[in-house]
Structure 1
Amino acid sequence: MPIPRPPVQAAGCVLWRRSPIGGELEICLVHRPKYDDWSHPKGKLKRDEDTLAGAVREVGEETGCTALPGSRLPTVRYLAQGRPKEVHYWAAEATGGRFTSNDEVDRILWLPPSAARDRLTQPRDRTLVDALLTSLRLT
């Protein structure tokens, strides 16, 4: 019997800000052209990388934003190409930076929570919007 492979470790953030126009909460979603999907910024951890450090790094790489991490959010577990994957998430406030399109992420959107929940491709990512609102005490 084959030995099960350990889960792929990844990390990301539910990145949020206050709208520069009206001050309402907005959540950042990234579009990945390789998968043609909308998700929270996330990615695989480097060898021996701390999950929080990896989450903040991935936000910077995918969105160009500096992230101020807050509460830990639920870890999401699923199969990716037949292998278990664990993505560790944090709430994080965008504190600056500027998006530049790249091969991995070609667009970002800042949306109110309900629109972000609707736009997310994977249902498993929608629960993270609710977890963010709870962590910010907005529910």
Structure 2
Amino acid sequence: MHRPKYDDWSHPKGKLKPGEDPLAGALREVAEETGYAAVPGAELTTVRYLANGRPKEVRYWAAAAGTGAFAPSDEVDRILWLAPEAARARLTQPRDRALVDELLTTRLP
């Protein structure tokens, strides 16, 4: 997905609401940012990095696309479904590219 604020391509992600289960939060963020429901599979590697000098931890799950429809917003203006090689080339951050490789060896729901 493309985030115009950062002019980057990344996987859906976001902050948990207070008391929210991490998987429920991930599914909510996917729906909010893409308009699609996600059918969750195996949990992937937790990614840790600094964002503006502050530690950030993001948990990801493999998922299959469910029903939905994308509507551009100020937060996300484009989404693409890409083959793995094209996704690696499009994603801005190396940490996001590594998740594509992990996903290829993970069983989907």
Q: Which category of TM-score, normalised to the shorter sequence, fits these structures?
A: over 0.9
Q: Distance in 1 between matches of 2:71 and 2:63?
A: 19
**Structure 1 position 110 matched with structure 2 position 45:** no
Q: Secondary structure at the match of 1:43?
A: coil
TM-score normalised per structure 2: 0.96
Residues 25-44 of structure 1 aligned to structure 2 (within 5 Å): 30-44=1-15
Determine the structure 2 residue equivalent to 1:95. 66
Instruction: Provide runs of 4+ in structure 1 moved above 3 Å.
Output: none
Confirm whether residue 54 of structure 1 aligns to residue 25 of structure 2: yes
Displacement of 1:136 = 2.8
Report the structure number with the largest CA radius of gyration.
Answer: 1
Percent of residue pairs identical: 73
Higher share of residues assigned helix: 2
Number of corresponding residues: 108
Please provide the CA RMSD for this pair: 1.0
Q: In structure 2, which of residues 48, 71, 91 is the aligned counterpart of residue 77 of structure 1?
A: 48
C-alpha distance in 2, partners of 1:131/1:45?
A: 23
TM-score normalised to the size of structure 1?
0.76
